[in-house]
Amino acid sequence: MDLLWAYFLVFILAATPWVEILLVIPAGLGMGLNPLPVAFLAFAGNAIPVFIIVYGYRIWQSWRSPCGDKRPKPVSRRRKRALNIWNRYGLPGLAFLGPLLTGIHLAVIIALAFKPGKKALLLWMNLSLFVWTAALTAGVYYGLKWI
């Protein structure tokens, strides 16, 4: 039962902002837990809030916006160009640096401010989480074995 509780804590703490995988994976492996379930649960614990934030953002935006003004606002040529550059180069950079610099949850919120496509945002953020999880799990596991 204690082992299940430990894995449950890995999942819950991975979903907690600012705790996330950079602390949870080393702690879980340092406690002697199996690396594969730790990696899977840490990834899932981080990925589920990413989906909630992305899909909840539109609901929040519609709740926050005034009810009477449903007309689309004109977008300037300069803003369109900036958004195209952001969508082409900015999202992958933010996705891969986000877990290290701000945490994945805040990185998703920052990315949503630039209004990227949902599919692209989810793809890049989850790909980044997968790479970080695999690299961190392997690094910590083999580092502990070496010590």
Look at residue 83 and tell me whether its pLDDT is greater than 60: yes
What pLDDT, in 10s, does the model give residues 20-52? 888 999 999 999 999 999 999 999 999 999 999
Residues 43, 134: Cα–Cα separation, whole Å: 9
CA atoms within 13 A on the CB side of 46: 33
Highest mean pLDDT among 30-34, 54-58, 68-72, 91-95: 30-34
CB 41 within 8 A of CB 14: yes
Q: What is the pLDDT of residue 66?
A: 63
What pLDDT, in 10s, does the model give residues 88-142? 778 888 888 888 888 888 888 888 888 888 899 999 999 999 999 999 999 999 9
What does the radius of gyration of the chain's CA atoms come to, in whole angstroms? 18
Q: What is the pTM of this model?
A: 0.81
Residues 2, 96: Cα–Cα separation, whole Å: 34
Q: What is the pLDDT of residue 70?
A: 60
